[in-house]
Chain A
Amino acid sequence: MSTAVKMVNITKTFPGITANDNVNFEVKKGEVHGLLGENGAGKTVLMNILYGLYKPDKGQIFVNEKEVKIDNSAVAIKLGIGMVHQHFMLVPSLTVAENIVLGREPKKYELLLDIKKTLKDIEALSARYRLDVDPKASVCDLPVGVQQRVEILKALFRGAEILILDEPTSVLTPQEVEGLFDAIRALTGQGKSVIFISHKLKEVCAICDRITVLKKGKVVGTVEKKETTPDALAEMMVGREVIVALKKEHVEPGKPVLKVQGLNALNDRKLPALRDVDFEVHEYEILGLAGVEGNGQTELVEVLTGVRELRSGNILFDGKPVTHASPHERIGMGISCVPEDRQKNGLIMDFSVLENLMLGRHDRPPFATKWFRLNLSKATGFADRVIQEYSIKAPGTGTLARHLSGGTQQKVIVAREFSRKPRVIIASQPTRGLDVGATEYVREKLVEMRDQGCAVLLISADLDEIFALSDRIAVIYEGRIVAVKEAGQTNELELGLLMTGGKR
């Protein structure tokens, strides 16, 4: 088999992180090549480079054994590369046929859309690759699985020989996944190559011929499916690396502070995101919640902080139900949260450090007087103290959050949430995107809060972090808690499998 795509020594950096670090990647004609890795491993960046959306800092790309420069996606399409993004790029109000031919419409008299030819072409295409669609249906009426087929047909219509599917199964039902796999087999049967991006081991093992594993921007290895096992892949994907050892003494946990029972909730697309979630977090304890992102963690945090509705279930704080308490009441009770998206949910970017530090307590003494007046001098005194105490590197209390580095922004949030003397801390991906120094700082603070008696729920996709901090570890997969383990009685391999649905 000859080579369809070869990427050599690709390096791509963004401010603060190296997304791809000397990556070598090769796809043969007619194969399904899995690109496996955790979130943030650099899979999508690598494929965006191939599709001309990003320019690599260095490295070469060969298509059909000829070196090419892919400056934009038009060039990529011309070279026969097609990409189906995680978020579909269809025009909802147009029909399937109109979407597929968009930009390359068969024309009549140079002006009019040749509808007959369009329909004929699409029918032929859809029959050939077993991608069943109704060309006259409006895209907005179609289920997600069918929309995906339309996306694939669009790429094929434009002459794609190499098809990139970015997390194609994340939006599909199990039946739809089977249909997709049939189509992929039909494609490769006719000599086309498919790059299948995923972090789900089961699916990668089911469909791929070869698998390349990425971890933190680097290739861990490329293996033949026949010569590997899900266990081996899990280890490659999450395998341990040297980290700075964190000092953490054993502390006897106290009584349970936060207890949840049978939580069920929907995500924004109205699909079940949490299914019968039960757990409890004790005083003097860090409960690590491990899981690949997108398995319900975001919704769990929202439910716990009171910004998302529950369908059913109970949340108990100190034994008292708080299921219907507002976010404001929960903050008052002593529930603090370090949200996963600090710019979206944590900070108000155009507020000053001072104003951000007040958030959540702005209407309580000493920040507010009885007559709803802000006591700015008290607040400034508090902010000055906190900036010292949490060594926040800001020029002053009036600096806008927008003008701080990512690590400093996170410190502002940590300072705000921890200085409230909370009883429960929910920390979601608290060190994501931070440099080593800031990461260490945040982790030390979390342990410090535990030592002072806080119940800490640490939600992280980073197993190193889970192991470094947790006293107990729970694993979430597809909205369910699939296991709860004492930290000493499990290992990365086991967790890696549980996180990817490899073992129940």
Chain B
Amino acid sequence: MKKIKYLFAFLLVISMSSCEKWLSVKPKAQIDSEDNFKTEQGFKDALTGVYLNLSSTQLYGMDMTWGFVDVLAKQYTEYSSSQNNTYSRLMDWNYTTPEGVEKIRSIWKGMYYSIANLNNIIDNIDKSGSGIFSGTNYNVIKGECLGLRAFHHFDLLRLFAPSPSAAGGLTAPGIPYREHLDNYSAEKFTIAQDLEKIVLDLKSAATLLETADPIKNTQISSTDYLRDRKFKFNYYAVQSLLARVYLYAGDYEKALEHSKIVINDSEAGKFPVTPIAQVINGNRIFSTEVIFYINMTNLNTLVNENFVPSANTNVAMSKSNALMRNVFDVQNNAANSSDYRYQYWTIANSSTSAKGTITKLYQELNTNLDAVNRLPLVRLSEMYYIAAESCLKIAGKRLEADTYLNKARANRGLAPLSTNLSTVQFQDEIFKEYRKEFLAEGQLFYYYKRLNLPNIITTTNFPAGPAVYNLPFPDDEIEYGNVK
């Protein structure tokens, strides 16, 4: 019987020794989310994953910047290589064609996938608290996540919901704003509610980052996560986005307030004007003026595929020569413009001597490392435009508006505007800046939409309206979500 007793004891030990632990199997080829968030590095890697996703070609690496969104704004009139066939079919806003449906779904899903990843970090960072983080990393990571969540939702709102200046105003239905990683179908909010959530997230982000973000305080060139803050959704990106959001919502006072935060600090040296020598040398994105750009190691390949005329066709994704001259107010091919952007962002299409090819994103891999592999998402000039437009709308600030716009113009080699422009004329000058400045950056479409302009303009006018401005929700969102 003694033996039996031992045996029972042995069995008991086996059965009691942490079954629960034994049963929670962690995948080998994958990492369990719970495990991942036990260390600070896990949070960093997960957040890096979000940047990777957002810089994929499906999102800001292409479609949300120089690809699909710029196609909708008719930034290009010529498409040639096989890669751009989809775009040439979508240039007339055929959202219900198979290409359109597919493209829209991939953007929708991709954006929300980023948001899902962000939400998982936010849920977990709230759970784990700041204990496991060193320095100010807790604030930085959480701030970036909240900022990015707002950033994604805002662009979804700008693409899929009607413009606040359209008939329904702010009470029109918006998009689902997702704040947790879960399997519930989020309700669709009104535009006002969406904007409120966006602002709330951005304000929280601003609070967290204000003291913690090295870019705001002392830009230290760390080798750690806190290095190269412009690659991350930093404090100024948050402030810039607030300005962008308020302008979109029509709150000019707030828009001015937040754009001024960025402008003031940049004038204090945060985002110096890019010296023209650098631009000549290949820094065509004016990298010192960029507040937030994404890192894309495959940018050169993409640019070569899409913007460099191929040997077969001699044409790349480009503007027609007529449109290019129209945009830059150039009378003929022989003439030139003082605008640095005309000088350095365009070259002649190889088949003709006329300028049409867009070189803005050409990568000078050997000469200008500060500008290589960077795709701008938020830049300083926009803050000047926002400030100018806000001042234009706020009574008694007309002169300030001139100042802001002229500063931005001066940075691009343009002379100051005449001081007696009408409000409409002044607004048109801002529009012209958007057309030029945001070439291959995807902001122009939103300008049209924000002001609910009746036409999208190339050399001719294309009537635009809800059918152009509001992308339809993907079918499965309508089917499975609460958005009906």
The answer to whether A and B assemble together is no
Q: Which B residues contact A (CB, under 8 angstroms)?
A: none
